[in-house]
Structure 1
């Protein structure tokens, strides 16, 4: 007769994980027929040992049970030893028994509690301290446009409560950022969390239900220590509670569409909405959901000392312009790193480019939606203002707004240097909008100097309208049209040279 723990192990490995009888037999050093017997046994009765009364230990067993259950929520290094429990019993509970009795009882109860946790087969709806997670989508007004944004819902089936946060995407970084926010706001981690087969968490599903998890998600799970479960493919009903809660959140809190200016600020308002919703009776248990939620909390795991770094790391090669491609979006580095490899740290809202020594080169706001390119111009402007005719980097002019590309091509080399320094001086947050408007006004009177562009810029910025007074002050006779800049020299080398 095998021990209970061995039989439980066989049943779990074969029936839950799909392991073969032979592989389990080899692993445990027993006959595969024995494995088959216990894995497929329909009725399994445990033999109860006769319990003897213990006048010394019986009064303190509930105390020890409470301590053991508290410690099982903590990392092993923070758990009390049996010796420490014995000392506390003597000090605070006038215990007169032996250290060996305490040590034996603690070891036995830990084994029993761990085995009980492993063999739990109740639906998550019945188990306090568990959660389900899924994304939904809802419309939002953002920058004068109505767009669909995903929101992450974590529901607690036992108490019928939830939390939710809105994100710009359903990628891995947004999923983990949302989970982490909820853990730290709640002050604990659900013991078990059930997911759909979300691509941010699952790379591939194999036969027999095995899954290959994304690296970042796998490290996140290890960091916070919760057990994860995934629905079987096509079985969304296995997480029916969170699916219902996704609809509930949309209908009650996100419609009609909200106007969002700052997503982080908006998300801070959502905690209170979720908490106020608990002040109602549970649909089945007829108990306040807020009270059931407190029972949920009692079964959560403790938070680790440090937060998880919800970052995906990649090593990519920059193109000839020093641009790198991340998730089909383009981000600038500097001209120095053209055609060089760089490291990229990708969070839900930021893309940081680093060199081999992990020193930051540039930081970008992460792009979502239709915008395809993010340029941090300063490193390029510094180089171009010193060497505007450098052949290696001259094609970078094509990265400028077209109005500036045309203007710079019609400048002399000295004018280009001055103009590029002016752009570097006036460009704020890599937004050319005001500079473009200043140049549009300045070129109304011909090819403008950098001083004239700067005058128009500050005139528009301060709304003084003094740029409207810019006009030629001297009558100049009509002259033949002249071509400015260096581009006309290309004519000497076109069509086989100069015709005689």
Structure 2
């Protein structure tokens, strides 16, 4: 095609000066027919390209588009091939075209859709199926006092909707547990999620916008397949929607202080709170937010069948007492692990100590707040049975049911040794249910010895009634009350008192 200046020259030479087409063509070294065309052309408007109609392919293009978009939500190994799409068109839609036409269209459309998605990821806030995530903090009433707890918010700007869950901390395990709960409740995964530079996800911010992520967060992302984005340092406005939603959640649902007795039960009520809130018009689009939320749902990735194990494993060394330190909190293991390395499994609400065969030694509730040590005495019972006088310097009685605390206090030193050995062999996972019942039955006729308690325990365990035979065979005369155990020796040491 000639340039504008060349066309102007032709029209001037031919139409204004009267030159022949041939002379102008000779001077410009072009075909005379080209000179004739531009000299006499009346219309110079840009014509829109004519759409080529394909009677065979056009009816099935929407079907192929739908299949391609569905496949992009799945893992690549589960995508349909162009050949498979052709076979489905022939079988279910009476397609009469060629496999070559289907392959060409599928290849072209996949490139177009991928380019659109990659380009659309830049203005994140306006795209259905994307989300933003951040923590907020609010006061709660717990055990009679007011404490501040973090809550995790996931917001969807397209629909102006959200979900949120309350946690005891903002650590990695709480972040991933919260995200996974939301994914499972939603039944899908946002295709792109924008975060602030949360320490549970980002270990270090490098140059040129690169980040070093925590190992658990990286594996979580791979498991669920979403794309992640992080705000630039000091640019919290880049996730302005979730910032506003954190404030909205606090003001509308968490103030004044909510009372919590069981955190899991409280969190289970928050799904309906969020879903009821979306039954209102969008502030700009004037459409119900619940309807816009359906657009988000349609754009989500498919949820994997298996859940992610939101745990962290560490190998730590116990001190001389068998105590390990996790995140500046102390947890007991067992005396046999003193000065030894042990493996611990860490979740958002538990710390589990494992032996060399990966068997559970003891499980603690994970500590948060001011409390620094969790002590489970069960693994220490055998050691204490050899040093019963050390019991009063421990918190052992505080961890036992009242029946057993009372029984041990009434025991002589030798009886205490036997009772602690019995508990060490029968107590599993700090479950005193059968042991409490066995002690109650064995105590029906006075202070029992360990053999009687053991007999009652196995009788209950095996669901027999042989313990009913434990009755005195002779008449016991009435005796004055007597105190048992070592407590009466305390009188020797009481201020101004001497045992009488």
TM-score normalised per structure 2:
0.72
CA distance in 1, matches of 2:49, 2:195: 40
Distance 1:89 1:350, change over 3 A: same
Q: How far apart are residue 65 of structure 1 and its match?
A: 0.7
Cα contact 2:195–2:230 (8 A) shared by 1: yes
Structure 2 residue 383 is the aligned partner of structure 1 residue 388 = no
Which of structures 1 and 2 has the bigger CA Rg? 2
Which residue in 2 is equivalent to 1:106?
106
CA distance in 2, matches of 1:417, 1:450: 14
Instruction: Please identify, of 97-106 and 171-180, the stretch whose mean Cα deviation from structure 2 is larger.
Output: 97-106
Which residue in 1 is equivalent to 2:247?
247
Which residue in 2 is equivalent to 1:370?
370
CA distance in 1, matches of 2:355, 2:392: 25
Which residue in 2 is equivalent to 1:325?
325
Deviations 1:316-340 (A, max 9, x none): 1111111111111111111111111
Which residue in 1 is equivalent to 2:126?
126
CA distance in 2, matches of 1:153, 1:229: 16
Which residue in 1 is equivalent to 2:94?
94
TM-score normalised per structure 1:
0.72
Which residue in 2 is equivalent to 1:195?
195
Structure 2 residue 170 is the aligned partner of structure 1 residue 162 = no
Deviations 1:48-85 (A, max 9, x none): 99864322112211110111001101111222121211
Structure 2 residue 302 is the aligned partner of structure 1 residue 302 = yes
Instruction: Indicate the SS of the match to 2:134.
Output: strand
Which residue in 2 is equivalent to 1:64?
64
Deviations 1:271-321 (A, max 9, x none): 001000001000011110000000111100000120000001101111111
Instruction: Indicate the SS of the match to 1:164.
Output: strand
Cα contact 2:135–2:246 (8 A) shared by 1: yes
Distance 1:144 1:375, change over 3 A: same
Distance 1:59 1:124, change over 3 A: same
Distance 1:186 1:84, change over 3 A: same
CA RMSD of aligned residues (A): 3.3
Instruction: Indicate the SS of the match to 2:95.
Output: coil
Cα contact 1:192–1:226 (8 A) shared by 2: yes
Cα contact 1:422–1:450 (8 A) shared by 2: no
Q: How far apart are residue 471 of structure 1 and its match?
A: 6.4
Q: How far apart are residue 356 of structure 1 and its match?
A: 2.3
Instruction: Indicate the SS of the match to 2:152.
Output: strand
CA distance in 1, matches of 2:100, 2:398: 85
Which residue in 1 is equivalent to 2:15?
none
Instruction: Indicate the SS of the match to 2:343.
Output: strand
Which residue in 2 is equivalent to 1:17?
none
Which residue in 1 is equivalent to 2:172?
172
Flag structure 2 segments of 5+ consecutive residues without an equivalent. 1-47, 400-405, 437-446, 450-479, 484-488, 494-500
Distance 1:49 1:177, change over 3 A: farther
CA distance in 1, matches of 2:257, 2:337: 43
Which residue in 1 is equivalent to 2:232?
232
Instruction: Give the count of matched residue pairs.
Output: 390
Flag structure 1 segments of 5+ consecutive residues without an equivalent. 1-47, 436-448, 452-469, 474-478, 484-500
Structure 2 residue 259 is the aligned partner of structure 1 residue 256 = no
CA distance in 1, matches of 2:482, 2:338: 44
Residue correspondence of structure 1 range 406-425 to structure 2 within 5 A: 414=414, 416-418=416-418, 420=420
Distance 1:396 1:119, change over 3 A: farther
Instruction: Please identify, of 370-379 and 279-288, the stretch whose mean Cα deviation from structure 2 is larger.
Output: 370-379
Cα contact 1:150–1:168 (8 A) shared by 2: yes
Instruction: Indicate the SS of the match to 2:384.
Output: helix
Distance 1:296 1:428, change over 3 A: closer
Cα contact 1:376–1:430 (8 A) shared by 2: no
Which residue in 1 is equivalent to 2:345?
345
Deviations 1:322-376 (A, max 9, x none): 1111111111111111111111110011111112221111111111111111122
